[in-house]
Amino acid sequence: MTDRALVVVRAGALTTVQDRGRPGHAHLGVPRSGALDGPAAALVNRLVGNRPEAAVLETTVTGCALRPRSAVTVAVAGAPCPVTVDGRPVSWGAPVRVPAGAVLDVGTVTSGVRGYVAVSGGVAVEPVLGSRSTDLLSGLGPAPLTDGAVLPLGTPGSPHARVDVAPCPAPPAEVVLRVTPGPRDDWFTPEAVRAFTSRTFRVSPASNRIGLRTEGPALERAVPGELPSEGMVLGAVQVPPDGRPVVFLADHPTTGGYPVIGVVRAGDLPRAAQAAPGTPVRFVAVRRLVAERRR
């Protein structure tokens, strides 16, 4: 019987299993989670012939190395990086056949932050609440990869894509995030609201899967004190006491007491996921009706 599994040779800085996430459980305090760069995860699944909901690996900066126990087709995309099989360079952004026992090495990114690795059949860890995603906030799903871990694989489905290299957007040199003001923008001074949508911020090294933290002008409060905890959504821009906006990403808390000055359009969040520390960030205000029509 074929041994459908991957052995983790090098786990990298942070490599997790991700799929489309587990929406619909916020009332239980469970975030959506899932791949931060959804389009990149969908692309690698298409390249290897997986269904869209198949679980992939999300790497962070330093990549990972894997040894399949049986021959598999893989694809790597997202943040550009060198890819080798047993030391031989192979294509990034294209389906690649990896023999049983060979080592697939996904190297350190040359730009961006997060890479995505799909394997034919998908990563078949046990689902939790309908998803195989690792949630760093709640601890649900499989633990981040460690050296020596073994990941089961599903049964391959459709043949892999017949392409040489798929077009992939480059990680952003500047991140422009369309934001709908509110619901708590009235908790800030008029000068702070103007600064939020006119000044340039930068991505903080403290950013993670929970939120993109920024450095730059501090947004001054007009209302002192704190709110009672209220529901938080994907893309909410919360402003903690230091005045620096935090954009909530897939593993964000489902409630919070800091005021939300705006909500970023969901379609802009994959760019935020690939923004390396120091990348300029600008928030552009859009009317609610316009934002809904352009989703």
Please give the tally of structural domains in the chain.
Answer: 2
Identity (one letter) of the amino acid at 12? Answer: G
Residues 6+ apart with CB under 8 A from 48: 73, 74, 75, 95, 118, 119, 120, 160, 161
Same domain, 287 and 182: yes
Q: How far is it, in rounded angstroms, from Cα 96 to Cα 98?
A: 6
Q: What is the pTM of this model?
A: 0.93
In this structure, what is the dihedral angle of CA atoms 103, 118, 114, 232, given to the nearest 10 degrees?
A: -140
**Domain span including residue 63:** 5-152
Q: What is the CATH number of the domain that holds 270?
A: 2.40.100.10
Same domain, 127 and 49: yes
Same domain, 55 and 122: yes
Does residue 279 belong to any structural domain of this protein? yes
Does residue 158 belong to any structural domain of this protein? no
Same domain, 209 and 110: no
| pLDDT per residue as tens, the chain (295 positions) | 468 999 999 999 999 999 999 999 988 889 999 999 999 999 999 999 999 999 999 999 999 999 999 999 999 999 999 999 999 999 999 999 999 999 999 999 999 999 999 999 999 999 999 999 999 998 999 999 999 999 999 999 877 766 656 677 788 899 999 999 999 999 999 999 999 999 999 999 999 999 999 999 999 999 988 889 999 999 999 999 999 999 999 999 999 999 999 999 999 999 999 999 999 999 999 976 444 444 5
Residue from 135, 134, 87 nearest 107 by CA: 87
Same domain, 122 and 14: yes
Q: How far is it, in rounded angstroms, from Cα 166 to Cα 75?
A: 10
